[in-house]
Amino acid sequence: MTIGTLVFMLTVWITVTATALWSIFRILSK
């Protein structure tokens, strides 16, 4: 796996995971 592909994959993983967690906490904290 090239560095570029790894960075692309990890960026998407972190962004998607963080967004999901943020939105769930926002809903639960209401």
User: Cβ atoms within 10 A of the Cβ of 21, count?
Assistant: 10
Which of these, 30, 4, 28, 27, lies nearest to 12 by C-alpha position?
4
Cβ at position 26, least distance to other proteins in Å: 6
Task: Based on the shown chain and the rule CB under 8 A, indicate whether residue 17 belongs to the binding site for other proteins.
Answer: yes
Asked if 3 interacts with other proteins (CB under 8 A), we say no
Distance CA 5, CA 12 (A): 11
- Is residue 1 a contact residue for other proteins (CB under 8 A)? yes
Residues that bind other proteins (CB under 8 A): 1-2, 5, 8-9, 12-13, 16-17, 19-20, 22-24, 26-27, 30
